[in-house]
Amino acid sequence: MRRLLKVDRGLGRDQGLNLATHEATSAEVTHSVPSPRRTPARRTSAYLTKHPRTRLALLLSAPLFWLVVVYIVALLLLLMTAFWRVDTFTGDITREWTFDNIVTVATGALYQTVTLRTLGIATAVTVIDVAIAMPIAFFMAKVASPRAQRLLVIAVLMPLWASYLVKAYAWRSVLSKDGILEWLLAPVGLHSPGYGIPATVLTLSYLWLPYVILPIYAGLERVPDSLLEASADLGARTTRTMGSVVLPLAFPAIVAGTIFAFALSLGDYITVNIVGGASQMLGNLVYTNVGAANNLPLAAAIALIPIAIIFGYLALARRTGALDSL
Amino acid sequence: MSEVPAIRLTGLTKDFGSVTAVDHVDLEIAEGEFFSMLGPSGSGKTTVLRLIAGFARPTSGTVELFGEDVTNAAPFDRDVNTVFQDYALFPHMNVLDNVGYGLRVRGMKRAARHERAMRALAAVRLDHLAARKPAELSGGQRQRVALARATVLEPKALLLDEPLGALDLKLRQQMQVELKQLQRQLGITFIFVTHDQEEALTLSDRIAVFNDGRIEQLGTPRELYERPASRFVADFVGTSNLFSAEHARALLGREGEYSVRPEKLTLSREPATASGTRSAVGTVVESIYLGSGIRRVIDLDAGPRISVLERNERSGAAQGHGERVHVSWHDEDVVALMPPGT
């Protein structure tokens, strides 16, 4: 250390550079930089650097525990419950294996109608959201200035800061017989759709729109501007560029967006309660069976329907290659 | 040369907010010319290219292609094609479909389209990779696909935006030769944007040197190198020894700013005596071995620090550090520079 100080002083003087290089040649200078101390943390780091498998195990154990125990096991338990039945006298669950619940759900007219209605609503919501999200996402990603882009992202995210219930009840108020929509539409001879399936579709579309815009926006942002310019340069008009370049490249992102809108709609039962009038969706049936009817096995069997549908949808999406880039 | 220029720019100006990227550029580029726009980044050369291609609209001024005003025409209505800096190949199409894209857009039938695209690919020796995706190609191959895609449409002018910038030196030199050959073969105007002065000098018929959105000097490579008009051009194109007005008065006996190329200076132990030559005394500060030559940095007693390029021919003539030498030059090699801002 003393040596180092000396060098420092040398540098301060005139022609100190020469002095410094002179001293640097002496062997003692090697001691001037202290070698790192062997602390336990350091030894652990060294051990982990040499053993990549241990490193991987430590890194993955916590998330894997969460995924397997909390997530997959819970799903499997649900699946198992669907094959039990409820004692009609005591109301207790009897752990006897039976296909009764599955058969009831698969053949019952009520369940078929509600399944079809739920599917229809989810599909309508998905289509509407993509139709609205595409132009907004394109404008955000390719037209707006960087400043406007930031503001728009905030604007899209803003509704997510408000509670789901607040937004659903806001729509209930908007759609009511003497609500703002009626007041706006009456002068042009139109009326608010009132409560029912159209109101449910409208409200769900509103609720899930940010989840559709954001992945599409992210996908479009990844498409370099030069590709659009190249397409125009090679003679393609705007619609052609959209069809041949933008859509194919944004397709995985669009599918990702539809998965959000579709899956979230499929499982929803609160919105339909608030603005759906008397209409029921699959979620409502599950809810009634868990609560009022106290038939957990039947509820589990009903819950398997949206799970099956969403698995089918994911399989379809995977076939298009849309999940490859996620 | 035909009377109507391939490209004519009149008073072309482009503002981005408060920044003027292109400032009243007037330019005529002849048919079949290899024309380079050279300048540092931010000098406006790429913006001029984008204005010609139609990717941006000028704030004022006009763009004419073969006498036709296309200032406000969309890119797809202009008979020029672009080779992009990042190549801009469509990642979801294979090489053949990339090259055939412009033909498909024009409604050409599949068989005819593929045949034309294959011919264009054969011209750049890539026909064996037609089924590959762009991601499976090397940088040089992508570059050639981009060239084939742009030339298959037989445009009246090809715009190239720093197309060799991403390639390594060896490949770049090879592509320079190929570009020059391609241009001669097609006989169309090439407008080539680059910040590499050596590349511009090698390839071009004429060069426009851009600085701050204006054309600083326009001329053949020889004119630019031998007779740079301004301090900026002298400094940007090749290496120059610049003499300020004060030093010029003392050393050259002239008024104004001057520039002398390093290879025009000679070193000797005795002052030069031949007519038309002058010399000055200085001290060698640094000698850099370049292989083909030796660069010496010399502090002149009565002037700036200058650089002298000696050919590597005589061994033993090397002057060491601190050695006193005479630097001499011929009066004809001293180039007067215009004062900045004229």
Residue B229 one-letter amino acid? A
User: Directed axis angle between helix B139-151 and helix B95-105, to 10°?
Assistant: 20
Give the least confident one: A7-21, A301-315, B35-49, B270-284: A7-21
Compute the average pLDDT of residues B107-113: 94
Examine the pLDDT at A262 and tell me if it is beyond 80: yes
User: Residue A122: is its pLDDT beyond 80?
Assistant: yes
Decide if pLDDT at A106 tops 80: yes
pLDDT value of residue A14: 43
B119: in domain: yes
pLDDT for the residue A89: 73
Q: How many residues does chain A have?
A: 326
The pLDDT value given to residue A95: 78
- φ and ψ of B335, to 5 deg: -105, 125
Quick: pLDDT tens for A41-79: 898 888 889 988 988 988 888 888 888 888 888 888 888
Asked whether B327 and B271 are in contact (CB, 8 A), the reply is no
What are the residues facing B292 on neighbouring strands? none
Distance set, CA B305 to CA A316, B299, B300 (Å):
72, 4, 6
Of A224, A237, A249, the CB nearest to B76: A237
Average pLDDT along chain A: 85
CATH number at residue B328: 2.40.50.100
**What SS3 string covers A72-134?**
HHHHHHHHHHCCCEECCCCCCEECCCCCHHHHHHHHCHHHHHHHHHHHHHHHHHHHHHHHHHH
Q: Do A234 and B91 touch (CB under 8 A)?
A: no
Question: Are residue A149 and residue A266 in the same domain, yes or no?
Answer: yes
Arithmetic mean of pLDDT, B22-35 = 94
End-to-end, the C-alpha distance of chain B in Å comes to 30
What range does the domain containing A16 cover?
1-35
Question: Does the beta-carbon distance from A249 to B92 stay under 8 Å?
Answer: yes
CATH number at residue A297: 1.10.3720.10
* A165 inside domain: yes
Give the sign of the dihedral formed by CA B55, CA B165, CA B180, CA B127.
Answer: negative
Tell me the angle at which helices B110-123 and B139-151 cross, rounded to the nearest 10 degrees.
130
Q: What is the DSSP string of B173-227?
A: HHHHHHHHHHHHHH--EEEEEES-HHHHHHH-SEEEEEETTEEEEEE-HHHHHHS
The token pair at B306 is 């200058």
Band (B319; pLDDT cuts 50, 70, 90): low
Do B76 and B212 fall within a single domain?
Answer: yes
Contacts of A235 in chain B (CB under 8 A): 76, 102, 105-106, 153
Considering the domain boundaries, does residue A142 fall inside one?
A: yes
- B216, B236, B256: which is the final residue of a domain? B236
Using a pLDDT cut of 90, give the percent of chain A over it. Answer: 46
ipTM of the prediction:
0.85
**B264 and B126 within one domain:** no
Angle between helices A109-138 and A197-221 (to 10 degrees): 40
Full residue range of the structural domain in which residue B277 is found: 242-337
pLDDT at B221: 95
* Residue A284 resides in a domain: yes
Same domain, residue pair A22 and A128: no
pLDDT (mean) for B146-152 = 94
Report the alpha-carbon distance of residue B289 to residue A206 in Å, rounded: 71
Query: Under DSSP, is residue A202 helix (H, G, I), strand (E, B) or coil?
Result: helix
- Is the Cβ of B16 closer than 8 Å to some Cβ of chain A? no
Minimal CA–CA distance to B45: which of B249, B199, B268, B245? B199
Domain membership flag for residue A270: yes
- Residue B82 within any structural domain of the chain: yes
Q: Does residue A241 surpass a pLDDT of 90?
A: yes
Q: Are residues B154 and B293 in the same domain?
A: no
Number of domains, chain B = 2
Same domain flag for A12 and A152: no
B91: nearest CA partner in chain A = A249
Does B153 lie at the interface with A, CB-CB under 8 angstroms?
Answer: yes
Judge whether A237 is closer than 8 Å to chain B, CB to CB.
yes
Bridge partners for B15 per DSSP: B20
Residue with tokens 């729109």: A209
A5 or B335, greater pLDDT: B335
Tens-place pLDDT, residues A29-43: 556 788 888 888 898
Q: For residue B271, which phi and psi values (nearest 5 degrees)? A: -65, 145
What's the gap in Å between the CA of B279 and the closest CA on chain A? 34
Distance CA A159, CA A73 (A): 34
At residue A289, the pLDDT reads 87
Helix residue spans in chain B (DSSP H): 45-53, 95-105, 110-123, 139-151, 169-186, 197-203, 221-226, 231-236, 245-251
Domains: count for chain A:
2
Q: Is B47 on the interface with A (CB under 8 A)?
A: no
Residue A280 maps to a domain:
yes
Contacts 24+ apart (CB under 8 A), A195-199: A195/A275, A195/A276, A195/A277, A196/A276, A196/A277, A196/A279, A197/A117, A197/A120, A197/A121, A197/A276, A197/A279, A199/A171, A199/A175, A199/A275, A199/A276, A199/A277
Asked if residue B108 has pLDDT above 90, the reply is yes
Spatial distance between the Cα atoms of B248 and B258, rounded to a whole number of angstroms: 7
Interchain CB contact of B65 with A (< 8 Å): no
The single-letter DSSP state of residue A139 is I
| Residue in B160, B15, B19, B3 with CA at minimum distance from that of residue B80 | B160
Which residues of chain A make contact with B53, given a CB cutoff of 8 A? 229, 233
Q: What is the DSSP string of B290-301?
A: -SSEEEEEEEET
Per-residue pLDDT averaged across B184-196, rounded? 93
Domain endpoint, select from B220, B236, B252:
B236
Rounded to the nearest angstrom, the minimum Cα separation between A233 and chain B is: 5
**Option in B55, B86, B105 nearest A235 (CB):** B105
Verify whether the Cβ–Cβ distance A235 to B74 is below 8 Å. no
A239: nearest CA in chain B?
A: B105
Residue B310 makes CB contacts below 8 A (sequence gap 6+) with B266, B267, B293, B294, B295, B296
Do B63 and B12 form a contact (C-beta atoms < 8 A)?
yes
Closest to B304 in 3D by CA, of B254, B259, B255: B259
Does residue A22 surpass a pLDDT of 60?
no
Over residues A235-261, the mean pLDDT reads 92
* Mean pLDDT score, A185-204: 89
Q: Encoding tokens for residue A17?
A: 């550079």
**What is the pLDDT at residue B317?**
52
Residue of A nearest to B50 (CA): A229
Is A227 close to B153, i.e. CB distance below 8 A? no
Angle in degrees, 0-180, between the axes of helices A197-221 and A164-175, rounded to the nearest 10: 130
CATH at residue B213: 3.40.50.300
Highest mean pLDDT: which of A292-296, A314-318, B69-73?
B69-73
* pLDDT confidence band for A130 (50 / 70 / 90): very high
* CA-based nearest distance B98→chain A, Å: 10
* Confidence at residue A17, expressed as pLDDT on a 0 to 100 scale: 42
For A250, which residue in chain B has the nearest alpha carbon?
B92
Q: Which residue of B has its CA nearest to A237?
A: B76
Name B268's bridge partners: B326
pLDDT average, residue stretch B59-67? 94
Tell me what pLDDT residue A23 has.
Answer: 45
Question: Which pLDDT band, with edges at 50, 70 and 90, does A324 fall under?
Answer: low
Q: What is the pLDDT of residue A245?
A: 94
Q: How close, in Å, is residue B106 to chain A by CA atoms?
A: 7
Residue B293 within a domain: yes
CA distances B155 to A175, A244, A252, Å, are 58, 22, 35
Neighboring chain A residues of B88 at a CB cutoff of 8 Å:
224, 226-227, 229-230
Asked if residue B1 is part of any domain, the answer here is no
B163 touches chain A (CB under 8 A): no
Contacts of B183 (CB under 8 A, 6+ apart): B34, B158, B190
Considering the domain architecture, whether residues B54 and B105 belong to the same structural domain is answered as yes
In tens, the pLDDT along B67-84 reads 999 999 999 999 999 999
Residue with tokens 């759709």: A193
Which residue, among B29, B67, B41, B32, has the nearest Cα to B218 in the 3D structure?
B29
Whether B342 is covered by a domain: the verdict is: no
Asked if residue B114 and residue B23 are part of one domain, the reply reads: yes
Q: How far does the CA of residue A227 sit from the closest CA of chain B (Å)?
A: 5
Residues 6+ apart with CB under 8 A from A56: none
Residue A192, sorted as left (phi over 0), alpha (psi -120 to 50) or beta, turns out to be beta
Bridge partners, B242 (sequence order): B259
- Select from A227, A233, A237 the Cβ nearest to the Cβ of B82: A233
- A138-184 pLDDT per residue, tens: 999 999 999 999 999 999 999 999 999 999 999 999 998 888 888 88
If contacts are CB pairs under 8 Å, which of residues 246-305 in chain B contact chain A? none
Of the candidates A248, A247, A236, A237, the one whose C-alpha atom is nearest the C-alpha of residue B104 is: A236
Chain A environment of B101 (Cβ under 8 Å) = 231, 234, 236, 244
Task: Give the pLDDT score at B48.
Answer: 96
Amino acid A69: pLDDT: 84
Residue B291 banded pLDDT, cuts 50, 70, 90: confident
